[in-house]
Amino acid sequence: MAANTASPAAGPARPGLMGLEDALQRLLASVEPVAGVETVPTAAAAGRVLANDLASPLDVPGFDNSQMDGYAVRREDVARAVAEGRALPVAQRIPAGHFGCELAPGTVARIFTGAPMPAGADAVVMQEDATPAEPPADASAAEAQAAHGWVRLGTVPTEGQWVRRRGEDVRAGAVVLAAGTRLSAAELGLAASIGSASLRVHRRVRVALASTGDELIQPGELPADRLPPGAIYNSNRYFLESMLQRLGCEVTVLGRVPDDRAATQTALTEAARDHDVILTTGGVSVGEEDHVKPVVQALGALDLWQIAMKPGKPFAHGWIDRAHAGGRGRCHVLGLPGNPVSCFVTFVLLARPFLLRLGGATVAPTLPPALPMEAHFDLPRADKRREFLRVRRNCVGGLDLFPNQNSSVLTSVAWADGLVDNPAGSVIAHGDTVRYLPLAGFLD
């Protein structure tokens, strides 16, 4: 076992580079949740962020009920019947959604899952532990006519056996979902279980997505055999748009912004007017023939960060004053690197929590917790930066490494199901325990 499972946050960043956790904390500190709130039907609230605490108006379940198809009984009656080897008369039948009457002493009730317990019953015997029986010879004529036959029970149930108690899931008045919760399938079911037909949620975050680079061609614009020399297809836009939608954002695709100052200025000024964030890709590395930086600096402010991580070192963060477009307030700008893997990794580790917080979600100012997993690969050369390696779980409980870790190789991300968060300066040997971050946790 190697020692590289310690939190990399503890290690010093290289001089001149910013630690990833520092960058995350600064980003989150710079953002206030959007103010708007709206009411949406519960069925349409998946992916949205709850705007207020949701308290339950009732106990769930609202009444003691049976957890099994079987017989509601008085335990003392069963104890006597078992001791005497007698069958018991089934005096009533209670399906789910119906209410029985008080259980007369010496009788049982046929009951079905979810049906309310009749008064007087203190346990349920499941039907697998009961056998239909003939009335005993000494039963009176009236008893022998028991409405629903007779039954022989094998054992005496324990107190409350197979009974779901009123309020055991939710107590009336309890907050079942806190403000800032992102609503996924289970939360919608929970909200429905307390009768919420609609939910108050934060409005969607409006994001404008801009791809910089004269080399970029949209898929569909030109077929592969007619691409000009040096041109490539724009891939970043596609995974970013998809991830933004899955985050619940309203996305405007600005498309390719040409490497030209006037065009960049026009595109960003207009986008700033009616968006909360402009997300750009490309042109934030050092020495770039780039117009995003001077344009944003002229319209507001932009910091270029060099983050101590690989891939994804360059990252830009700033804002545009909407007054330049006749509006009010500021529009955030996030600049992601152009290399697709760097773009992907900085999106999930930095832009995603930023956008969630902007959308009102409660977000921890740290990376999600990593899982200890066994490396089934070697990484003999340590990097000076904290590295996020594309890996995949194998069927023997370990992690395999994608062979090409270059930050331009998008195949590695499509292949991977997680990232190994490898501290700066660490080598990895087969069998070492490493820090695994499942990608699934970043994609919804």
Q: Which residues bind ligand AMP (CB under 6 A)?
A: 211, 213, 215-216, 232, 234-237, 281-285, 288, 337-340
For the CA atoms of 53, 56, 60, 62, the dihedral, rounded to the nearest 10 degrees, stands at: 180
CB of 290 to ligand AMP, least distance (A): 7
| Residues at the interface with Mg ion (CB under 5 A) | 213, 282-283, 338
Q: What is the DSSP string of 131-185?
A: EEEPPPTT--HHHHT-TT-EEEE-SPPPTTTTEEPTTSSB-TT-EEE-TTPBP-H
Give the separation between CA 64 and CA 55, rounded to whole angstroms.
Answer: 21
Q: Which does 157 bind (CB under 5 to 8 A by kind): Mg ion, ligand AMP, none?
A: none
CB of 204 to ligand AMP, least distance (A): 24
Would you say 288 or 421 has its CB closer to ligand AMP? 288
CB of 408 to ligand AMP, least distance (A): 6
Would you say 8 or 282 has its CB closer to ligand AMP? 282
Q: Which does 311 bind (CB under 5 to 8 A by kind): ligand AMP, Mg ion, none?
A: none
Would you say 13 or 292 has its CB closer to ligand AMP? 292
CB of 213 to Mg ion, least distance (A): 4
Q: Which residue has the tokens 């106990």?
A: 59
Closest by alpha carbon to 241, among 207, 282, 283? 207
For residue 191, the surrounding DSSP H or E stretch is helix 185-193
Closest by alpha carbon to 210, among 275, 285, 157? 275
Q: Which does 235 bind (CB under 5 to 8 A by kind): ligand AMP, Mg ion, none?
A: ligand AMP
CB of 11 to ligand AMP, least distance (A): 26
274: how many CB neighbours lie within 10 A of its CB? 13
CB of 288 to Mg ion, least distance (A): 6
Would you say 91 or 208 has its CB closer to ligand AMP? 208
Would you say 282 or 335 has its CB closer to Mg ion? 282
Give the contacts of 296 (CB within 8 A, at least 6 positions apart): 268, 302, 316, 318, 319, 320, 333, 335
Q: Which does 407 bind (CB under 5 to 8 A by kind): Mg ion, ligand AMP, none?
A: none
Would you say 123 or 341 has its CB closer to ligand AMP? 341
Closest by alpha carbon to 95, among 76, 113, 72, 68? 113
Taking CB atoms, the residue at the shortest distance from ligand AMP is: 338
Q: Which residues of 236-269 are buried (b: 16+ CB within 10 A; e: fewer)?
A: bbebbbebbeebbbebbbbebbebeeeebbebbb
For residue 91, the surrounding DSSP H or E stretch is strand 88-94
Q: Which does 216 bind (CB under 5 to 8 A by kind): Mg ion, ligand AMP, none?
A: ligand AMP
Q: Which does 281 bind (CB under 5 to 8 A by kind): Mg ion, ligand AMP, none?
A: ligand AMP
